[in-house]
Structure formats: structure tokens, C-alpha cells
Amino acid sequence: MSEKNYASPDLSLRGDEHVRVYQQTGGEVGYLWNGVPILLLTVTGRRSGRRLTSALIFARDGEDLLVVASKGGAPKHPLWYVNLQENPHAEVQVKDRKMQVVARTATKAEKPRLWKIVTDTWPNYDTYQARTDRDIPVVVLTPT
């Protein structure tokens, strides 16, 4: 997918506001965003030790949840991903259901299959990858 095929999303709900509304409504507002499902990922800050929550597009691979550390194709990984590399134990909320997960980055061998799953959900990931030289990770979140 090139930039000319990029579908600009509605950004009226994002960031901290997205997280707040999602939490307050148990996902009634915020679970579907631009037609795709969203989960809340809560990680532990590697420096602060604080719990930090992000609203992320996700897909499923069996029981596992898949998220993409795209940051829109920025040159650096998103902070939630850097924090997961330090401590892979996290919490996710899908609608009103919360669960503990362990995160890992997809291996080179499994990434093509998982990339297809996530780009079927959000085709813009291909554009984000084209914007950067870094290999955008697919993160596998396995419920514990």
C-alpha cells in the first residue's frame, strides 16, 4: 500500500481521551474506532514504574491478541513497546473484560503470517512500514 492508498482515519477520539472514554464506558464507546476493534494495553513504565495505558488496534490469532508497534511509521518504537521489552507482563482490556497477558515480539519466521492478519484488520500498517526503515514489530499478547 502506498501513500496514495492510505486511508486517513478519523482522529476525533485518540490518546488519553480515547483511554478515558473506553474505561468509563467499558468499551461501549471506543471499542470500535474507524471500523476496527481497539483494546487498552496497560504496561509498567520502565523508568517511572507507573501504569501507562494506550488504546491500540488489535487482531486475533486464536487466543492470542496481536498489536502492532507502528507509531504511524515513525523512526522510533512507541514507548509502550519499549516498556514491554523491559517487562513483558501487562494487562489488556477488551470491551469490559480485563486480563493479564505476557507479550513477545513475533519471530522473523512467524511475522509474515501475523502481518497478513493485522493488515487485513488495518491496511494502513503497510503504509506505515513504507514510511520507516525500522522493522515494525507485531506483538503477540498471550493471556495468562
CATH of the domain at 92: 2.30.110.10
pLDDT given for residue 6 in this prediction: 73
Average pLDDT over residues 124-139: 97
Average pLDDT over residues 79-104: 98
- Which cell numbers hold the place of 78? 512507541
pLDDT of residue 93 exceeding 80? yes
pLDDT given for residue 7 in this prediction: 74
pLDDT given for residue 117 in this prediction: 98
pTM > 0.85: yes or no? yes
Q: CA geometry: angle at 27 spanning 25 and 33, to 5°?
A: 125
The 3-class secondary structure across the chain, one letter per residue, is: CCHHHCCCCCCCCCHHHHHHHHHHHCCCCCCEECCEEEEEEEEECCCCCCEEEEEEECEEECCEEEEECCHHHCCCCCHHHHHHHHCCEEEEEECCEEEEEEEEECCCCCHHHHHHHHHHHCCHHHHHHHCCCCCCCEEEEEEC
Domains in the chain, number: 1
pLDDT given for residue 2 in this prediction: 55
Conformation bin of residue 62: beta by default, left when phi > 0, alpha when psi is -120 to 50: left
* Average pLDDT over all residues of the chain: 95
pLDDT given for residue 34 in this prediction: 92
Average pLDDT over residues 46-73: 97
Q: Which domain holds residue 43?
A: 3-143
pLDDT of residue 1 exceeding 60? no
